[in-house]
Chain A
Amino acid sequence: MTASTADVLDYDEVLARFDPVLGLEVHVELSTNTKMFCGCPTAFGAEPNTQVCPVCLGLPGALPVVNGAAVESAIRIGLALGCDIAEWCRFARKNYFYPDMPKNFQTSQYDEPIAFDGKLDLELEDGTVVEVGIERAHMEEDTGKSLHVGGATGRIHGAEHSLLDYNRAGVPLIEIVTKPITGTGARAPEVARAYVTALRDLLRALGVSDVRMDQGSLRCDANVSLMPKGTTVFGTRTETKNVNSLRSVERAVRYEMTRQAAVLAGGGEILQETRHFDESTGSTSAGRRKETSEDYRYFPEPDLVPIAPSAEWVEKLRATLPEMPWQRRKRIQADWQLSDLELRDLVNAGAVDLVAATVDAGATPNEARAWWVNYLSQEANTRGVELAELPITPAQVARVAAMVADGKLTNKLAREVVDGVLAGEGEPDAVVAARGLEVVSDDSALYAAVDEALAAQPDVADKIRGGKVQAAGAIVGAVMKATKGQADAKRVRELILERCAG
């Protein structure tokens, strides 16, 4: 279970003795309307076993028919990753027994992937660019889900029985596999996270997937191995699964590095195995042993005909590719006149899409950036969630910004409105109304407050009348206090001077 500290080596010592090698396998569930090989819907979260038919249940006699929209998405992903698109490729059967797989084989691709040999450039937080090679992207179908009941961990070990939901069985998946990533040293965990982030942004821009790691529509398996400094022969790798957030990607890689280093430093051998990442402890534990159990007996799927995308079709799909995230960042930097540092802050905060959407909703780039990169990023950090997961929309942020620009809210009040939205109190206008946060813009109410404050501090009033304009600050403060901060301080100051000018 939980690893004791003796099981891992200090990170600096790991790096002094070993070079890490990474290989990342990302599974992306496509957001097609229907499954890979049948007409069942793919919507997430339906009642168990309500989105199934003879084909995706693997009933005797049922046959698959390829979903053309999924092939189209696969080709677009391949093109966006700079891959070659196969002129001719086939599906293959990957044979293994597991209750959540209706046919006990997965229809996948083996030695003939639809896309191969591409790359993805990543920018790390300090601006360093790392190129990651893409080995292949291939099409396959998802499995069903097992729910293990009665065990402590929700895993199959110790469970009393298991429930099966086949709604997910047959949902189109694209598996994207990197070439071995070497030479990253201490930054390996960071590179792993940056890769998944960059891939997620790319897939989102393509509009092919929800890319929700929390719902499993983007899943990352992290292969990690170590080789002693100075050698070039890869060590035995482990494959860590159940890595369900960007942060977990980074933690899982780092943990495996320190665990493997401890094993190797102690004279032990790394077992080629699947490992399971535990979010709560940040450690991995052994799963299936690979070398003993897995001979998938791949062979070409005889129930499907080969896929041969014509050059015209591929070019037509290439023309549909949207602006890539890195191109977009360049354009945004120019449009919004950002310094390199400002852009990097924006990117590192994961705020590009949100700021752009906020600008689209009417805010200025500076207002939008200020909200997302400063105030809301802090909030996300506090909550330990991704910025995009905060319960506030770009349109709501833009509305708050507009109210500030119109003088209806002060910055302080605006933050209270945002807090209200985050607390689930509704739209900004509703929060303003419910909390009574609007700036007091009724001059007659302000005159009364000003007169009252001047009367309460006659000596200060005299000073102002005598020309000491800076003394007005004390009266402003008193008025603001009296109006509970809901007055526009600038207007209050104008009114004080007006009253004292008389």
Chain B
Amino acid sequence: MSDLTHSTAAELAAKIHAGEVSSVEVTRAHLDRIGAIDETVHAFLHVDTDGALAAAQRVDDDVAAGRPVASPLAGVPLALKDVFATEGIPTTCGSKILENWIPPYDSTVARKLRDAGVVVLGKTNMDEFAMGSSTENSAYGVTRNPWDLDRIPGGSGGGSSASLAAFQAPLAIGTDTGGSIRQPASVTGTVGVKPTYGGVSRYGLVAFSSSLDQGGPCARTVLDAALLHEVIGGHDPLDSTSIDAPVPPVVAAAREGAAGDLRGLRVGVVREFTGEWYQDGVIAAFDQAVEALRGLGAEVVEVSCPHFDYALPAYYLIAPSECSSNLARFDAMRYGLRVGDENGNSAEQVMALTREAGFGAEVKRRVMVGTYALSSGYYDAYYGQAQKVRTLISRDFERAFGDVDVLVSPTTPTTAFRIGERVDDPVAMYRADLCTIPANLAGTPAMSVPAGLSDDDGLPVGLQVMAPALQEQRMYKVAAAYEAARDKAWGGPLINRVPELEVAAR
């Protein structure tokens, strides 16, 4: 095990910028780690060795020449979810239909990362088109949870979360449509943040559900997530839904929070997020986390958000509706998979054959549900009603934030479940997102921070912290304060309890 792969991004950046270690060394250490264990974990769909080393060399050249580095994270390696278009580098979205597609352009997030001197190691595995909670829906095989290789790493961003927990990268990027950053973070004992909708550009993020998708930072510490958040956030004229406002001061908030003083802060516990679907060990860990917040001086009250109960069904109308339209472009005419081109088939037949062969079962399920929900005669009853629920959920948040500064809940009702356990029960799979979906529907920010291990199975539990739109600094402060208290209570970073993978591997 290398110190370099077990360092935080902040530590690595400091050493690289001070010339104590080169970015190339750091990058090589992570590439070696990927080479050693990714056959076991399968976090990556594509590793860009040459590109990563070239990016690292550029940072080293800056440092050697005494030029200012491009950003506070210059030279630090990162794993990018394979849903962001990267010029010249394959982008598959975990789907056969985009196998071998090499985008001719960069997503804004990819461009910002390059501009910031962040070293992109490669592209991470994901549920096909970000539809799923386990990464089992990837067309390229499952990703394994480093805490227990028989378990899922969460989804859809399981490749990104697993790469962090496996020390293949200190930073990762995910996207969160219904929980795809936070739930993987929760089940891998890592930190994942869904920013305010519009806080991070969606340009070049291959759309699943446009009104819900949001890219965000993933890391092993709150401060690292904050540093990455400030690199990728901010207004983008290429995304009409991007917010034209400064990125909230999340790095400062994370540093301030680490001092561990939450006096004067009101924390709301969402009453609706408990019940039969919640694992006892998760509830116990969550209760301890809430106690810890009290111990830091926060005032904790219970808050009711009655419409959150309708979030899941509303989400499973809105997201499929938008996806049925967004995924229509995958038709074999211009790029991607093409099936049935011979035998004099018509364009329409080629489209149908390609989509039949190229999409997995979950994608087809959602495209069909969405097509149905938008059909004339059903629109008002389904899509229309779901939009009304969305408004009611936003109002629940507004009312709650009139009373408290942040809301907290478990991130997901259970710890990592076993690979295969829920593949034949879509609704059970969907319940993984019970607590995360409301923030997507309201467009408000939320994050997951590790909250210890469940006492019934020894697996990581996540604490979700939610804040009002563009008030990310509040949740970063709370998460950082809690993180410091937790590490103190556990006698060191929780992530260091991940089993040694080399031993687990053959």
Which residues of A come within 8 Å of B, CB atoms?
54, 57-66, 93, 95, 97, 99, 102-105, 162, 164, 295, 297-299, 302-305
Contacts and interface: CB of A to CB of B under 8 A. Distances in A.
Nearest to B322: A302
B347 interface: yes
Contacts of B202: 61, 63
Give the most central of B103, B204, B240, B334: most A CB within 10 Å: B240
Nearest to A65: B240
A66 B206 CA distance: 20
B105 interface: yes
B329 A295 contact: no
B376 A59 contact: no
Interface of B: 84-85, 91, 93, 98, 101, 103-105, 107, 202-207, 209-211, 237-241, 321-322, 324-325, 328-331, 333-335, 347-348, 351, 371, 374-376, 379, 383
Given A61-B204, A66-B240, A303-B240, A105 B325 contact: yes
B440 to A, nearest CB: 13
B211 A302 contact: yes
Contacts of A62: 105, 203-204
B347 A162 contact: yes
Nearest to B213: A302
B241 A65 contact: no
Contact of B240 (A63, A297, A299): A63
Contacts of B104: 54, 59
Contacts of A63: 202-203, 238-240
A356 B120 CA distance: 65
Of all A-B residue pairs in the complex, the 5 with the closest CB atoms, nearest first, are A104-B328, A297-B374, A302-B210, A302-B211, A61-B204
Nearest to A160: B344
Contacts of B383: 299
Contacts of B348: 97
Given A60-B98, A61-B103, A99-B333, A299 B328 contact: no
Given A61-B85, A297-B371, A305 B240 contact: yes
Given A63-B238, A299-B379, A95 B325 contact: yes
Give the most central of B205, B206, B325, B379: most A CB within 10 Å: B325
B210 A95 contact: no
A493 B331 CA distance: 82
17 contacts: A54-B85, A57-B334, A58-B334, A59-B85, A59-B105, A60-B103, A60-B335, A61-B203, A63-B202, A65-B240, A95-B374, A104-B328, A164-B333, A297-B371, A297-B374, A297-B375, A297-B376
Contact of A54 (B105, B324, B371): B105
A95 B104 CA distance: 26
Contacts of B321: 299
A97 B375 contact: no
B374 A303 contact: no
Contacts of B325: 93, 95, 105, 297, 299
B328 to A, nearest CB: 4
Given A58-B329, A102-B334, A303 B210 contact: yes
B240 A97 contact: no
A164 B348 CA distance: 15
Contacts of A65: 237-240
